[in-house]
């Protein structure tokens, strides 16, 4: 039996925009209403813990009301006929809710907390959305959102880059390609023949991409199902 094509889908906040979750850098984005220094840096957690915990509590509470959109669902459905891996910058779990079984979260996960002392001590928030200020792990240390803050390492990047190197096709959905090292993943494809598909109503900076690039200037909920159907036809 012919081996299934390996398709890597690299997503950003735009793939969840059609589920009603704000992106970061669009006009109505999160960073238009909050300062990164106040809620998404190690210094903020140290100097203003309550504000950081509240920020992620609010985002977690909001995420519980959101559902996967047709973009997430089409990506998950691709697993029927391709070897699919999702690498997301998003901290929501909408890819998993849509049925994707291989999801790498580069920037952490909203529904998880971890020890401030031992980064391997990670806890699921099984019910509700609230982390209390003084919650501690079994190591006695305070817990923090399991989120990669600006200025912190991206531990999953090495795995993600190896996954992209294996891709036969790279699909990029809803990311401004503004944040590194995540954005550099588009350059980890094994050679310049690997086709790259970009689905975004905006125009992220793809000027340095040398691979065959197809830009579908559509919202994810429209463009992703279109592309998935096209690829299914081509690859069957």
CA-based R_g, the chain, Å: 18
Tokens at 178, concatenated: 């503004």
Q: Which of 174, 209, 228, 231 binds ligand APR (CB under 6 A)?
A: 174
What residues contact 41, with CB distance under 8 A and at least 6 apart?
Answer: 149, 150, 151
Verify binding: residue 41, ligand APR, rule CB under 6 A: no
CA-CA distance, 11 to 200, in Å (whole number)? Answer: 10
Q: Does 32 bind ligand APR (CB under 6 A)?
A: no
The two tokens of residue 33 are: 């209403």
Out of 72, 95, 105, 107, pick the active-site residue. Answer: 107
Under rule CB under 6 A, which residues in 207-236 are in contact with ligand APR?
A: 219-220
Return the residues of window 100-119 that contact ligand APR according to CB under 6 A: 107
Out of 10, 24, 55, 197, the only residue in the binding site for ligand APR (CB under 6 A) is 24
Instruction: Report strand pairing: 143-147 vs 108-115.
Output: antiparallel
Answer yes or no whether residue 201 interacts with ligand APR by CB under 6 A.
yes
Reported as half-sphere exposure (CB side, CA atoms, 13 A), residue 103 has a value of: 23
Q: Which residue has the tokens 């070897």?
A: 83
Contact 94, 71 (CB under 8 A): no
Q: Which of 4, 5, 6, 25 binds ligand APR (CB under 6 A)?
A: 25
Is 89 one of the binding residues for ligand APR (CB under 6 A)?
Answer: yes
Quote the CA–CA distance of 68 and 177 in Å, as a whole number: 22
In the list 175, 186, 209, 225, the residue contacting ligand APR (rule: CB under 6 A) is: 175
Kind and range of the H or E run holding 118: none
Instruction: Tell me if residue 95 is catalytic.
Output: no
Residue 229 CB, nearest distance to ligand APR (Å)? 17
Q: Is 179 in the site for ligand APR (CB under 6 A)?
A: yes
Instruction: Name the region of 215 (left: φ>0; alpha: ψ -120 to 50; beta: rest).
Output: beta
Does position 146 interact with ligand APR (CB under 6 A)? The reply is no
* d(C-alpha 65, C-alpha 70), whole Å: 16
Residue nearest to ligand APR (CB): 14
Choose one: 41-49, 116-124, 170-178, 226-234; the region binding ligand APR (CB under 6 A).
Answer: 170-178
Closest CA to 230 of 7, 15, 69, 1: 7
CB of 71 vs ligand APR, minimal distance in Å: 7
| Choice between 137 and 204, CB closer to ligand APR | 204
What is the smallest separation between the CB atom of 186 and ligand APR, expressed in angstroms?
12
**Surface-to-core class of residue 129, CB atoms within 10 Å of its CB (0-12 exposed, 13-18 middle, 19+ buried):** middle
Question: Which residues belong to the active site?
Answer: 107
Binding site for ligand APR (CB under 6 A): 12-14, 17-18, 23-26, 29, 89, 107, 174-176, 178-179, 200-202, 204, 219-220
């Amino acid at each position: 039996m012919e081996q299934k094509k390996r398709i890597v889908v690299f997503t950003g906040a735009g793939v969840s925009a059609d589920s009603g979750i704000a992106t970061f850098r669009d006009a109505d984005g999160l960073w238009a209403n909050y300062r990164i220094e106040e809620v998404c840096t190690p210094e903020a957690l140290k100097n203003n813990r309550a504000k950081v915990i509240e920020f992620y509590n609010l985002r977690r509470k909001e995420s519980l009301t959101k559902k996967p959109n047709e973009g997430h669902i089409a990506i998950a459905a691709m697993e029927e006929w391709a070897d699919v891996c999702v690498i997301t910058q998003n901290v929501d779990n909408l890819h998993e809710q849509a049925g994707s079984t291989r999801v790498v979260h580069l920037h952490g996960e909203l529904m998880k907390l971890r020890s401030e002392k031992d980064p391997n001590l990670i806890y699921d928030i099984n019910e509700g959305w609230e982390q209390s200020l003084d919650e501690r792990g079994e190591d006695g240390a305070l817990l923090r959102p399991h989120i990669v803050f600006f200025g912190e390492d991206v531990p999953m990047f090495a795995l993600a880059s190896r996954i992209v190197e294996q891709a036969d096709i790279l699909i990029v959905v809803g990311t401004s390609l503004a944040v590194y090292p995540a954005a550099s993943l588009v350059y980890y494809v094994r050679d310049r023949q690997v086709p790259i598909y970009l689905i975004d109503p905006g125009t992220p900076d793809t000027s340095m991409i040398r691979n065959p690039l197809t830009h579908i200037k559509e919202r994810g909920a429209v463009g992703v199902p279109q592309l998935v159907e096209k690829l299914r036809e081509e690859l069957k």
